[in-house]
Structure 1
Amino acid sequence: MTTTNYIQFDADDLDAAKGKGLISTIERDLDINAVPFSSDNEKAPTHRVYAKSPRGHDIEVGGIWKKKNAEGKPY
């Protein structure tokens, strides 16, 4: 079985790492790129996620946020 819907980062320091991955549905497979994003807003995402349009334009399709679980550990 092929792995779908993932992002793999190029470094252990996720704040500065870039990521590549795949989002798959029944109708499409999208190669995605996660790019670090800096902001003074503490609620802003750490990364923006982009895919290519059919004509090759970068389209923002999501974001990545750092969160903590009920025990205060990051996930």
Structure 2
Amino acid sequence: MPRYYFDINDGTDLKDEVGREIQDPLALRREALRVMTSLMAAEAEDSQDCTLVLTVRNGDGDGVMTIRLVCQIDDG
């Protein structure tokens, strides 16, 4: 089963050194979206504005998917 690495940038680069085995493209997309929504929920608790970028790499180090989420919260 192919291994994919989920690198995060929230202003700081966090490189995934472990990765996870994912069977097919649909499962990869679902996992990437699950990771991003969890991260965005955590980031948005502590700030008014946040931008997250998730880059998924394959075992050869090639980028196969990028997801960008921007959150702006206006209280009032």
TM-score of the superposition, structure 2-length normalised?
0.29
TM-score of the superposition, structure 1-length normalised?
0.29
Greater helix percent: which structure?
2
